[in-house]
Amino acid sequence: MHLWQNPKSLSYRKLSSKTLLPIMKNNNDASGQSAQNRLYIKRGHVVNHDGMQQADVYIEDGTIRYVGSGADFVVPGGCRTIDATGKMLLPGGIDPHTHFQLEFGGTVSVDDFYQGTKAAVAGGTTTVIDFVIPQKGESLLEAYDTWRVRADSKVVCDYGLHVAITWWSKSVRDEMKILCQERGVNSFKCFMAYKGLFQVTDSELYEIFETCKELGAVAQVHAENGDVIAKNVQKLLEAGVTGPEGHELSRTEEVEAEAVNRACVIAHQTKTPLYVTRVTSKLAAEQVSQARRRGLLVYGETLASSLGCTLTNVKQNVLPYYVTSPPIRQDPETPRHLMKFLALDDLQTTGSDNCTFNKSQKELGRNDFSKIPNGVNGVEDRMSVVWEKGVQTGLIDPQRFVAITSTNAAKIFNLYPRKGRIAVGSDADILVWDPKEVRTISASTHHQACDFNIFEGMKCHGVPEYVIVHGRVCLENGVFRVAEGQGSFLETPVYPPFVYDALNGITDRNGDDKSARNGLQALDLNQKHDVDIPEPYALPEKYVPGPALSIVSGDSQLSTPHSARGHRPDGSKNMQQSTFSISEELDGGDKRSCIRVKNPPGGKSSGFW
């Protein structure tokens, strides 16, 4: 029984910024589990972006009800207990970038909302945000309804929706408002590439950004210079370069970085917060970093594919399977550089941009690389790949891992602290994470629909032993149980405080230019900045450790951008002071006492709402 099964039956009510769309669902699912289930997880090592503690966690009705030592808690009779000794408890991952069942390049991506969210959960991701992508001229609301119908009866975890703006008119502007006020959407993406298909012009970008700001929405860009790419493609094909190597040749780092900078400039001119999706190169990441240091409110996302792969050793015959845009890069240093940007809060989130096509579909571009359907896998493996390339290499610690795999996305898209945190009142989306366990990624064992895996053969430390989705144990001891449709649509309310309080100050949501952030948005764009990338655990001098940024303060000092005033951003570590080691964390109780918990997640007994 799903409210959204038939598009004609869709009915909506006006939303306040805090209310949720009605979800008429039966709490019992086909896996035989019930949201009434009570679950007690004992002796886990709870990791949030801002602290770690040894704690027990009690879950009831899909919500976390208790986090603490257990000394002050009586476990209800008949309650199931999981012993998490030696394991970490992490917030379920949030993948802010997926494309399930997307019509693209004359075909449809093979992971639909069932297969895609199933794969997500298998890998430890318990929330995804997909993109509604209307065709040029199509109503945004109709496209949104299409996505809801595709998704609602299939998802096995909660999901939200961004909406792409692929054309521009007054009706599009009006529909953006309806989407924000009545449909639970708070973010819009513009493509600066895919000329003739999705690409919008700079003047359209300007107006779309302004509209986002008026609505309290998050403006996003896919940043590549589509005009230059179109010319490059034409030249390469004319020169006889028809093979898949032409893809990256036509979309170089410079072509990506130019668009990132242009989007930042337009965001600056319109005083609009900007989220740059899928930053895939060092040059582009530097543009995000520099914009943040100039004081602009810009956030950057990178992807599992760019953190886990380069094209260096990829053989020509499988190269089409790695085609995605902006491309996975040749430069073998790229993954490490991108992880350093994440470590330093120059980038904030990791997604997958999961958009999978089978080998036979990639064949569509056999004689012309520009016809290869763009997209790769990643929704299942993102958590393990980020752990392997980040925590396992020592570039980030588990708290930063949580920040970049769930918390920051939850904050930016206004799902926090319901998602992205283990605390009383949060949804019980929890991973019992074994950092010592190793798994080898393979298409032969993955849960995705596609017949290729770009991470094939990669050994990853960090494996979810249990995956708990809204209180339901979906993965345990390698046994995976999910029910189609057990997830729900997530409303993402406008004016995410993490974004808009930093822009306007908490008392002003009218875009008053006198606010602290708007002052910063007016900083000189030509100011010079040193953006050398430090080695792990050696931060540049300008990173003066300070208090974690408070997002609910009207104090203009605290409303400044993370790095511009030397504040430590939420979840990013002062790695010079870090004493963290995985073995210290997990080997023996004595050593755990050295872990400082700044803000124990279980310290408060009240919920958030």
Binding site for ligand URP (CB under 6 A): 99, 104, 222, 324-325, 353, 355, 374-375
Among 224, 353, 491, 585, binds Zn ion (CB under 5 A): 353
- The number of residues that bind Zn ion (CB under 5 A) is 1
Cβ neighbours, 10 Å, residue 238: 8
Q: Could you say which of Zn ion, ligand URP, none residue 141 binds, taking C-beta under 5 to 8 angstroms by partner kind?
A: none
Q: Which residue is nearest to ligand URP (CB)?
A: 374
CA distance 478 to 463: 10
- Least distance from C-beta 324 to Zn ion, angstroms? 8
In this chain, which stretch among 23-31, 241-249, 345-353, 591-599 interacts with Zn ion, using CB under 5 A? 345-353
**Residue 353 or residue 465: which is nearer to Zn ion going by CB?**
353
Q: Which residue shows structure tokens 């920040």? A: 403
Hey, what amino acid is at 58? Y
**Residue 189 or residue 268: which is nearer to ligand URP going by CB?**
189
- Least distance from C-beta 137 to ligand URP, angstroms? 19
In this chain, which stretch among 311-319, 325-333, 351-359, 524-532 interacts with Zn ion, using CB under 5 A? 351-359
Half-sphere exposure of residue 210: CA atoms within 13 angstroms, side-chain side: 10
Q: Could you say which of ligand URP, Zn ion, none residue 452 binds, taking C-beta under 5 to 8 angstroms by partner kind?
A: none
In the sheet with 274-276, reading across from the earlier edge strand, the strands are 93-98, 125-132, 158-165, 187-191, 218-222, 274-276, 298-303, 349-351
Task: Give helix 282-293 / helix 334-343 axis angle, nearest 10°.
Answer: 20
- Least distance from C-beta 319 to ligand URP, angstroms? 14
The burial of 149, by beta-carbon neighbours within 10 Å (0-12 exposed, 13-18 middle, 19 or more buried), is given as middle
**Residue 116 or residue 216: which is nearer to ligand URP going by CB?**
116
**Residue 334 or residue 374: which is nearer to ligand URP going by CB?**
374
**Residue 224 or residue 353: which is nearer to Zn ion going by CB?**
353
- Least distance from C-beta 413 to Zn ion, angstroms? 15
> What Å distances lie between residue 375 and 322, 352, 382, 440, CA to CA?
7, 10, 15, 22
Cα radius of gyration (the chain): 23
Q: Per DSSP, which regions of 92-186 are E strands? A: 93-98, 103-104, 107-108, 125-132, 158-165
Q: Which two tokens stand for residue 232?
A: 């490059």
Q: Angle at CA 377, nearest 5°, toward 372 and 382? A: 150
Residue-wise DSSP of 350-372:
EE--B----HHHHGGGTT-GGGS
Q: Could you say which of ligand URP, Zn ion, none residue 324 binds, taking C-beta under 5 to 8 angstroms by partner kind?
A: ligand URP
In this chain, which stretch among 100-108, 165-173, 266-274, 353-361 interacts with Zn ion, using CB under 5 A? 353-361
- Look at the alpha carbons of 596, 601, 605, 609 in this order and tell me if their dihedral is positive or negative: positive
In this chain, which stretch among 180-188, 265-273, 347-355, 423-431 interacts with Zn ion, using CB under 5 A? 347-355
**Residue 162 or residue 421: which is nearer to Zn ion going by CB?**
162
- Least distance from C-beta 355 to ligand URP, angstroms? 4
Local structure of residue 6 (DSSP, 8 states)? S
- Least distance from C-beta 582 to ligand URP, angstroms? 33
CA distance 401 to 386: 8
CA distance 561 to 557: 9
- Least distance from C-beta 189 to ligand URP, angstroms? 8
**Residue 104 or residue 580: which is nearer to ligand URP going by CB?**
104
3-state SS record for 437-487 = EEEECCCCCCCCCCCCCCCCCCEEEEEEEEEEECCEEEEECCEECCCCCCC
Cβ neighbours, 10 Å, residue 190: 26
Q: Could you say which of ligand URP, Zn ion, none residue 374 binds, taking C-beta under 5 to 8 angstroms by partner kind?
A: ligand URP
**Residue 214 or residue 245: which is nearer to ligand URP going by CB?**
245
**Residue 104 or residue 188: which is nearer to ligand URP going by CB?**
104
Q: Could you say which of Zn ion, ligand URP, none residue 325 binds, taking C-beta under 5 to 8 angstroms by partner kind?
A: ligand URP
- Least distance from C-beta 304 to ligand URP, angstroms? 12
- Least distance from C-beta 104 to ligand URP, angstroms? 6
Q: Which residue is nearest to Zn ion (CB)?
A: 353
Q: Are 100 and 147 in contact (CB under 8 A)?
A: no
165: nearest Cα among 193, 199, 196, 210: 199
- Least distance from C-beta 496 to ligand URP, angstroms? 22
**Residue 54 or residue 325: which is nearer to ligand URP going by CB?**
325
* 256 is a contact residue toward Zn ion (CB under 5 A): no
Q: Which residues bind Zn ion (CB under 5 A)?
A: 353
